[in-house]
């Protein structure tokens, strides 16, 4: 009996350190998925300096309003408006969920992204923590790429009230003053962009017809150090057209490993940090979608 119990304990421990989500964490994501809307007021504190107050309102499908004293990111589900309050200018682009998935907003990304935990592992319950007068349950995790973090879940509503992250993705602590999961969808008016006196700024154009030469400039700087014919980490060599073609499905960036590993909330590549810029990601996407020609 004893040895069976021990074995079972080992098995659970083994699993616990892999990918299985503690049930409290799983419930946090289920509660977010199940909500019709979400409102959070939170502060972001960066160890590199500075604190910022942000409020967010989420609605489905793909509607959000993320606002700080310096910026507003608003998606009505079709268009993403980004207002720079200091410059009093805004840009318009196709709606993408990226602003709801970045490091600042990640704790609540499960509202939109049912795979929000796919790059996380090594979950460990750390017990109760008193944070600003509230008793929260801490769950530590590892992020693919080497960063670590903790979610702080509020047992009264089963949703995270904050999270912290350490590593190359930036050291930060996020704590909410209030988190409200809504049973009724927020009014569509909340997601209507009102430019006021702000001037529209055209986003920097990204050539639709991207050439392989443009892409090889990017891979030379960002990938080839670890992925070349002599040293092909993960069996991948990005330093030739032939090598790159093996991780590309022409015309279909969404199914291409090249695009998948550099995009999303926690991109796996370039390994060791230094996320690709939105322009680089867009160029790679356009190159693949326009046929990934040589
Ligand atoms: C600092 C080294 C390093 C850099 C820079 C780097 N990689 Fe990787 N890459 C690795 C290692 C190590 C692996 C294998 C193990 C793993 O997946 O972590 C890998 C695996 C991969 C894989 C295959 C596994 C998978 O996750 O699908 C792809 C595709 C890939 N890298 C693409 C890229 C691209 C594209 C870039 C440039 C934007 C890049 N890598 C930059 C180290 C690196």
pLDDT per residue as tens digits for the range 146-165:
789 999 999 999 999 999 98
The pLDDT of residue 14 is: 40
Same-domain status, 126 and 181: yes
Domain that holds residue 42: 10-200
Same-domain status, 27 and 137: yes
206 occurs within a structural domain: no
2 occurs within a structural domain: no
Cα-to-centroid distance, 7 and ligand 1 (Å): 36
Query: For 35-62, what is each residue's pLDDT tens digit?
Result: 999 999 999 998 777 789 999 999 999 9
Contact 280, 218 (CB under 8 A): yes
Cα-to-centroid distance, 270 and ligand 1 (Å): 6
Atom number, ligand 1, closest to the C-alpha of residue 234:
14
Contact 108, 154 (CB under 8 A): no
Q: Is 54 helix (H, G, I), strand (E, B) or coil?
A: strand
The pLDDT of residue 12 is: 44
- In 10 A of CB 95, how many CB atoms? 18
Same-domain status, 144 and 169: yes
CATH code at position 19: 2.50.20.10
Same-domain status, 129 and 50: yes
pTM score of the predicted model: 0.62
Q: How far is Cα 57 from Cα 186, in angstroms, rounded to an integer?
A: 8
Question: Which of 56-70, 84-98, 138-152, 206-220 shows the lowest per-residue confidence on average (mean pLDDT)?
Answer: 206-220
Ligand 1, atom 36: closest residue by C-alpha: 223
Among 161, 180, 200, the domain-final residue is 200
Atom number, ligand 1, closest to the C-alpha of residue 272:
1
The pLDDT of residue 97 is: 84
DSSP string, 146-166: S-EEEEEEETTTTEEEEEEEE
The pLDDT of residue 98 is: 79
* Overall domain count for the chain: 2
Ligand 1, atom 1: closest residue by C-alpha: 271
Among 200, 222, 239, the domain-final residue is 200
Q: Is the pLDDT of residue 293 over 70?
A: yes
């Amino acid at each position: 009996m004893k040895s069976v119990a021990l074995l079972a304990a080992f098995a659970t421990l083994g699993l616990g350190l892999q990918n299985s989500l503690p049930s409290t964490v799983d419930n946090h994501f289920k509660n977010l998925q199940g909500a019709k809307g979400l409102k959070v007021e939170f502060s972001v504190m960066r160890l590199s300096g500075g604190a910022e107050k942000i409020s967010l309102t989420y609605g489905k499908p793909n509607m959000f309003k993320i606002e700080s004293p310096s910026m507003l990111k608003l998606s009505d589900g079709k268009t993403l408006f980004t207002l720079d309050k200091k410059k009093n200018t805004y840009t318009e682009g196709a709606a993408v969920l990226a602003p709801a998935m970045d490091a600042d907003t990640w704790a609540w990304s499960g509202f939109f992204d049912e795979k929000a935990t796919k790059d996380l592992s090594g979950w460990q319950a750390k017990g109760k923590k008193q944070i600003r007068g509230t008793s929260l349950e801490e769950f530590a995790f590892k992020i693919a790429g080497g960063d670590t973090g903790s979610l702080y879940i509020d047992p009264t509503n089963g949703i995270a009230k904050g999270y912290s992250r350490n590593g190359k993705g930036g050291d930060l602590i996020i704590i909410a003053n209030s988190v409200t999961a809504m049973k009724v969808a927020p009014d569509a008016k909340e997601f209507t962009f009102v430019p006021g006196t702000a001037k529209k700024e055209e986003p920097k154009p990204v050539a639709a017809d991207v050439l392989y030469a443009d892409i090889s400039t990017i891979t030379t700087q960002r990938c080839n150090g670890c992925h070349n014919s002599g040293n092909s980490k993960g069996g991948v060599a990005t330093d030739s057209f032939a090598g790159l073609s093996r991780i590309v499905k022409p015309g279909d960036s969404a199914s291409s490993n090249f695009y998948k590993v550099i995009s999303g909330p926690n991109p796996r590549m370039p390994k060791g940090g230094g996320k690709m810029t939105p322009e680089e990601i867009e160029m790679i996407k356009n190159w693949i979608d326009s046929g990934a020609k040589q």
